[in-house]
Amino acid sequence: MTKATPRPAGERDPLLPSPASASPPPYLDHHPADSYAVVLVPVRLRRRLRRGDRCLAPCLAALFLLALAGFLLWPADPDVSLARLRLAHVSVTARPAVAVTISAALKVRVRNPDLFALDYSRLDVDIGYRGKQLGRVTSGGGRVRARAVSYVDADLQLDGIRVVEDAIYLLEDLARGSVPFDAVVEVDGHLHLFFLSVPVKGRISCVVHVNPHNQTILHQDCYPEYQ
């Protein structure tokens, strides 16, 4: 075994790093100016985001106001309902031909849901049996104020209307004591929206079961029809 030769005093081992190489590289030095430049970047981004938020809030508010105005000003069809139906006379004759005679008084409720007055030209009431029209009564026009309700009276008189196709069914319903009649109420009008005249229409269909023996209404089912 060879012995290591001792080195003279003051001489360093070449395998060990020198004091100069042990110092950190120059690019790792921290300077105050570089630190200040790094901090400025997020500050500028935040300022830009805040400016965008300031512009976004008024835009959203304007869109909301426009949508609300469109919802309130957009014309809607009037709501029509049958407030009262009073029978005066109902009869079904079989000779010489099957015929129906109806005399009734109706009260129609018209509600205007819009912010503008409704002018309707007429109110039509159709009476039918099993989808076949027996007759029509037409009432005059009128006006319904904005967000208001109006009642329209209509007198129905059908004298000896002959029923040919469904005569057998009508005689069967007469024997049971319940005759279903179809009633369709329709209102045509216009909404005056500033300088525009917008046509609107309300319609309701009812099935009224009538006992012709004692001149009473057994029950009625009504539902609105949307155009």
Q: Say whether both 105 and 52 belong to one domain.
A: no
pLDDT at 194: 72
Helical (H) or strand (E) element with 22:
none
Structure tokens that stand for 10 in this block: 């003051």
DSSP character string of 123-163: EEEEEEETTEEEEEEEE--EEE-TT-EEEEEEEEEEEEEE-
Total domains present in the chain: 2
Mean pLDDT by 10 residues, the chain (227 residues): 54 55 52 50 51 65 58 75 89 88 92 89 92 89 91 91 89 92 92 80 93 90 82
Query: What's the pLDDT score for residue 170?
Result: 92
Q: What is the pLDDT of residue 191?
A: 85
pLDDT value of residue 173? 93
**Amino acid present at 165:** E
Please give the Cα distance from 77 to 29 (Å, whole number).
78
Q: Is the dihedral of CA 93, 96, 98, 104 positive or negative?
A: negative
User: Does residue 53 share a domain with residue 142?
Assistant: no
Closest-CA residue to 118 (of 30, 226, 223, 202):
202
The verdict on 140 and 107 lying in the same domain is: yes
Q: Which domain holds residue 112?
A: 79-224
pTM above 0.75, yes or no: no
Is residue 145 located within the same domain as residue 65?
no
**One domain, residues 37 and 105:** no
* 137 contact partners, CB below 8 Å, separation of at least 6: 124, 125, 127, 154, 155, 156, 157
91 and 140 share one domain: yes
pLDDT reported for residue 28: 47
Residues 42 and 85 in one domain: no
Q: Are residues 86 and 197 in the same domain?
A: yes
Are 105 and 196 members of one domain?
A: yes
